[in-house]
A and B are shown apart, each in its own frame.
Chain A
Amino acid sequence: MNFKIGLPLFFIFICGIKIGYSQTQADKKPLKNYGQNGDAIIEYIIESVAENLGEDFDYTEMVDRLNYYRKSPLNLNKATKAQLSELVFLNQVQINDLLNHIAKNGKLINVLELQSINSLDLETIKNLLYFADINRPTGFEDFSLKNMLSRGTSDLLVRYQRGIEPQKGYNIPADSKNSRYLGTPDRIFTRFRFNYNNNVQLSINVEKDAGEQYWATTGKKGPDFYSGSLYLKDIRAFKKIVIGDYALQFGQGLTMWSGLAFGKGADIFTVAKQDLGLRSYTSVNEFSFFRGFATQINAGKFEFTPFISKQNIDASAVFNPVTQEDEISSLQQSGLHRTESEIKGKGRISQLVYGGNLQFKNKRFSIGATAYQSNYSQSFAPGTDVYSKYDFTKNQLTNVGLNYNYSIKNTYFYGEAAHSLGYGFAFVNGLISSLSPIVSFVAFHRDYQKDYQSYYNQAISENTTAKNERGFYSGLQIKPNKKFEFITYIDAFRFPWLKYLVDAPSGGYDIFSQFAFIPNKQARFTLRYRIRNKEQNSPLSTSTRFLESVRRQNFRLEAQYQVNKSFTLRNRIEVMAFKEESDKQRYGFMAYQDVNYSPLSSKFSGNVRLTMFQTENFDTRIYAYESDVLYGFSIPAYQNQGIRFYVNGRYTLRRGVDFWIRYALTQYSNLTTIGSGLDEINGNQKSEIKLQARIQF
């Protein structure tokens, strides 16, 4: 296949179509059919909030939530603050305005009323109406076991996934002493859900990653990863009960936040975290969840959430010659158990976590306290480097925290103070304010001490955890009318203590701005620029170490347009410029074309993407969110030079029976082997297939 000539032609072809249609189709579509179907709306929401998460992160938790409301829309007249917070694209000012509007003017009678709420712009209303409407029965109103069995819905999903080109790790003979992958290259995922009115939810996930054994024979027997939970809601004072795997999210994530959390991104308001308290854990990220029992009890304006969790977690070990005992050198979060050594670390230590959260919630004001203790069966080993001087080195840690939020007029204040007993403190305080009907503002200050310790801390930070950092973030969103939108944020930070590869206190800034032009309901153009400046050890350092600045700049241009009722197209061009002070500027480039086919009434839908990329090195790699099968996620980093192609297809056999297929291929023009170590592929081509089936009954 000769892609080199094909690609430019393809772009020209697509652009040609676009011009032909955009004139004639303008402004004929109803509100709901705005150039993207439901999956696309969810995808768009994920992409705007998920700027900084890793390549293989599982967003199921959020997609589940959104899909649930898509199927059984939330009744806005009865929705609680917590439920509205689950719709991640709403910010706290918008939620408060909506609730105040209903409190003041009575129940919404028509969805058009939403437009009279200042902080709700048209796009937000459009997204909101996708997941909510204004009259729907809610709750346990007519609960009985019979009803539950007859009206409950079950959902069984199986996914199979496999890389096609053989990787080195699978072809090492078992009798050689070398490290090798013990399992097959297949990735198999099974998930089952039972749901009754959102009040009873049973969830089971079983998964094996590529390289893992489906039924482990070495180490712990059985499937590599399984997770399950039973979630009950609204049983008298018990607002929530979870038996099995669960996640906890309180305050701003400084003290306790497990599962999905967002960082800085194109949706600037997500920096004010909307805590959802106790949730069942339904993703397959094999870390950052709890296993045990938790419940939320409501008494008047108080909510009390006690929890206990005991599980074995993955860790690598190091021998301490002083105590003559093994200690934890690091916790492993990848959830991969493919080789002898990875299996050895699997569930190597046991962890017991227990504690509680007490929250007082008023209409405008909320304050809460969290306290918990975590116990590990072994101590953490002290690091040998100066930068790890303040790391945690015991086997028992107690965390306490205090969080608040307060709404007054057009402003929402929020914050949290946290302390790890015997160690440091951490603080975050911020506000969101709609300064005028078209200008919204967000700002927060953070101060995380270098010896603040928490293994369930996901507060907003430039570092991977909220520790050893001070900073101030401010952002603006300006939406003068429905055609233009401007978003910008500026974040400046200092790291008071040393970091890995940074042998002195350092600092930097991150500036982001995005301009969107939405000429009509079919088209959207976005221009984005981001510059990040940090410090790291200079390669010129010899006897004396000193720092140099590292600058990353991203330029992105994106166009999305609906050609007709069935076809939507999207292009993106992105350039990354990376400059180390002592080196010349290096560049990365990526361009892609999407074709999305989703007719309103057809059994088939699907999409195709062709990407061309060329990057000078690892530092100039470019990330892009890719469409995937339902509940499948992929945000690969493009590096080196080549093309990537993928196709997604969905076929609905009948209501409740769906099939998906995905094929992805990357072809490198400057490589003869791909990857390294056990993942190495001989050749310049890497491809993968995914098959998925779902039955709902």
Chain B
Amino acid sequence: MQDVWSVQKNQAGIAALKKPIASLAYENRFLIKEISTKSAGVAIPVNKYVLGAAFQSYGVNAYNETRGGLTLARAFSPKLLTAISVNYHQLQITNYGNAQAFSVEVGVQYQALKNLWLAAHIANPNSSKFGTNTDQIIPAHIQFGGSYTFSDKLIISTEFEKILDSQADFKTGLEYKVIKAFALRGGVSMNPFKQYAGFGLELQDLMFDFGISSHPILGYSPQISLGYEF
């Protein structure tokens, strides 16, 4: 929850970072070569604040969505982390042209009990759109989640997500550290029904993660990522 990936998910997570971190990730959808998501992120602590930047690109040659975002995060206490982000979106469809838009995201994480973190994240609450020429939307969503640390080896997280004009989803997952540097992960989402599995490897300052999601009809989507702590 509080790692470099927060810059893409719930940005409040980066507020807890003490050192600069950078990351790169690649996801291949349903093992179809052309469809992929590439993303990169960086977070840098500056005085009381942590600054973040994220970039994401999804699609095929003929259809491409890109997003760049800047985040300002702050921990008001070790128990309360907050962040606000501004994103710039661009949609590119060959022979149809381009469209641009801005959106806002807000995130908060709160340590309710010694072992329990609660979090909320809201994206694009004002439902900003790509102008009037396209029906393509920037999803507006709200997420609530909790993460419980059972031991230094085991964390279980759950999350409820509602995307505007779409179905609500419930996700849950666990991470188990077989040894300090190696963790196994597994999870499931209900709507649509998907199963997830993966592992993470921590070699000093370098983090390597691999994950795969399985959709009952569309099949597997693998994902790899690299992170480095300076």
A residues touching B (Cβ–Cβ < 8 Å)? 433, 435-439, 441, 443, 472, 474, 476, 478, 490, 492, 494, 507-509, 511, 533
Bound-state CA distance A507–B192 (Å) is: 14
Which of A436, A438, A472, A476 is B195 in contact with, Cβ under 8 Å?
A472
With both chains docked as a complex, state the minimum distance between the C-beta of A510 and any C-beta of chain B, in angstroms: 11
- Provide the B133-157 mask, 1 if CB < 8 A to any CB of A, else 0: 0000000000000000011011010
From A438, which residue of chain B is reached at the shortest CB distance?
Answer: B150
Verify if B217 is at the interface (C-beta below 8 Å from A): yes
Q: A435-B176, A507-B216 are in contact. Are A490 and B195 (CB under 8 A)?
A: yes
Are B150 and A436 in contact, CB atoms less than 8 angstroms apart?
Answer: yes
With both chains docked as a complex, state the minimum distance between the C-beta of B173 and any C-beta of chain A, in angstroms: 11
14 A-B interface contacts by CB (under 8 A): A433-B176, A435-B153, A435-B154, A436-B150, A436-B151, A436-B153, A439-B156, A441-B176, A443-B186, A472-B214, A474-B186, A476-B156, A476-B174, A478-B156
Known: A478-B156, A492-B195. 20 other contacts (CB 8 A): A435-B150, A435-B151, A435-B174, A436-B153, A436-B154, A437-B151, A438-B150, A439-B150, A439-B156, A474-B186, A474-B188, A476-B156, A490-B188, A492-B193, A492-B214, A492-B216, A494-B216, A507-B216, A509-B216, A533-B193
Contacts of B186 in A (CB 8 A): 443, 474
Are A439 and B216 in contact, CB atoms less than 8 angstroms apart?
Answer: no
Are A511 and B190 in contact, CB atoms less than 8 angstroms apart?
Answer: yes
Contacts of B195 in A (CB 8 A): 472, 474, 490, 492
Bound-state CA distance A433–B151 (Å) is: 14
Main secondary structure of the interface of A (DSSP, over half): strand
- Provide the B2-35 mask, 1 if CB < 8 A to any CB of A, else 0: 0000000000000000000000000000000000
Are A439 and B193 in contact, CB atoms less than 8 angstroms apart?
Answer: no
> How many residue pairs between the two chains, A and B, have CB atoms under 8 Å in the bound complex?
41
Contacts of A490 in B (CB 8 A): 188, 195
- Provide the B169-189 mask, 1 if CB < 8 A to any CB of A, else 0: 000001010000000001010
The 4 A-B pairs of least Cβ separation, nearest first, read A436-B151, A436-B150, A435-B154, A436-B154
With both chains docked as a complex, state the minimum distance between the C-beta of B209 and any C-beta of chain A, in angstroms: 19
Bound-state CA distance A443–B197 (Å) is: 12
B residues touching A (Cβ–Cβ < 8 Å)? 150-151, 153-154, 156, 174, 176, 186, 188, 190, 193, 195, 214, 216-217
Bound-state CA distance A543–B96 (Å) is: 40
Bound-state CA distance A476–B153 (Å) is: 15
Contacts of A438 in B (CB 8 A): 150
Are A507 and B154 in contact, CB atoms less than 8 angstroms apart?
Answer: no
With both chains docked as a complex, state the minimum distance between the C-beta of B220 and any C-beta of chain A, in angstroms: 12
Bound-state CA distance A508–B217 (Å) is: 10
Bound-state CA distance A474–B214 (Å) is: 14
Contacts of B190 in A (CB 8 A): 511
Contacts of A435 in B (CB 8 A): 150-151, 153-154, 174, 176
With both chains docked as a complex, state the minimum distance between the C-beta of B151 and any C-beta of chain A, in angstroms: 4
Bound-state CA distance A519–B15 (Å) is: 40
With both chains docked as a complex, state the minimum distance between the C-beta of A133 and any C-beta of chain B, in angstroms: 32
From B193, which residue of chain A is reached at the shortest CB distance?
Answer: A509
With both chains docked as a complex, state the minimum distance between the C-beta of B184 and any C-beta of chain A, in angstroms: 10
Contacts of A508 in B (CB 8 A): 216
With both chains docked as a complex, state the minimum distance between the C-beta of B131 and any C-beta of chain A, in angstroms: 37
Are A507 and B217 in contact, CB atoms less than 8 angstroms apart?
Answer: yes
From B194, which residue of chain A is reached at the shortest CB distance?
Answer: A492
Which of A439, A494, A509, A533 is B154 in contact with, Cβ under 8 Å?
A439
Contacts of A533 in B (CB 8 A): 193
With both chains docked as a complex, state the minimum distance between the C-beta of A291 and any C-beta of chain B, in angstroms: 43
Bound-state CA distance A441–B150 (Å) is: 13
Contacts of A436 in B (CB 8 A): 150-151, 153-154
From B150, which residue of chain A is reached at the shortest CB distance?
Answer: A436
Most chain A CB neighbours (cut-off 10 Å) among B176, B193, B195, B217: B193
With both chains docked as a complex, state the minimum distance between the C-beta of B172 and any C-beta of chain A, in angstroms: 8
With both chains docked as a complex, state the minimum distance between the C-beta of A91 and any C-beta of chain B, in angstroms: 18
Contacts of A494 in B (CB 8 A): 216
Bound-state CA distance A19–B186 (Å) is: 43
Bound-state CA distance A435–B217 (Å) is: 31
Contacts of B216 in A (CB 8 A): 492, 494, 507-509
Bound-state CA distance A492–B192 (Å) is: 12
Bound-state CA distance A474–B187 (Å) is: 9
With both chains docked as a complex, state the minimum distance between the C-beta of B221 and any C-beta of chain A, in angstroms: 15
With both chains docked as a complex, state the minimum distance between the C-beta of A406 and any C-beta of chain B, in angstroms: 16
Bound-state CA distance A439–B176 (Å) is: 11
With both chains docked as a complex, state the minimum distance between the C-beta of A454 and any C-beta of chain B, in angstroms: 27
Bound-state CA distance A375–B153 (Å) is: 53
With both chains docked as a complex, state the minimum distance between the C-beta of B117 and any C-beta of chain A, in angstroms: 17
Most chain B CB neighbours (cut-off 10 Å) among A474, A508, A511: A474
Bound-state CA distance A165–B224 (Å) is: 68
With both chains docked as a complex, state the minimum distance between the C-beta of A489 and any C-beta of chain B, in angstroms: 10
Bound-state CA distance A507–B216 (Å) is: 7
With both chains docked as a complex, state the minimum distance between the C-beta of A479 and any C-beta of chain B, in angstroms: 11
With both chains docked as a complex, state the minimum distance between the C-beta of B156 and any C-beta of chain A, in angstroms: 7
Bound-state CA distance A507–B214 (Å) is: 13
Contacts of A511 in B (CB 8 A): 190
Contacts of A474 in B (CB 8 A): 186, 188, 195
With both chains docked as a complex, state the minimum distance between the C-beta of B121 and any C-beta of chain A, in angstroms: 24
With both chains docked as a complex, state the minimum distance between the C-beta of B74 and any C-beta of chain A, in angstroms: 33
Contacts of A509 in B (CB 8 A): 193, 216
Contacts of B151 in A (CB 8 A): 435-437
Bound-state CA distance A467–B176 (Å) is: 32
With both chains docked as a complex, state the minimum distance between the C-beta of B108 and any C-beta of chain A, in angstroms: 26
Most chain B CB neighbours (cut-off 10 Å) among A441, A443, A533: A441
From A493, which residue of chain B is reached at the shortest CB distance?
Answer: B216
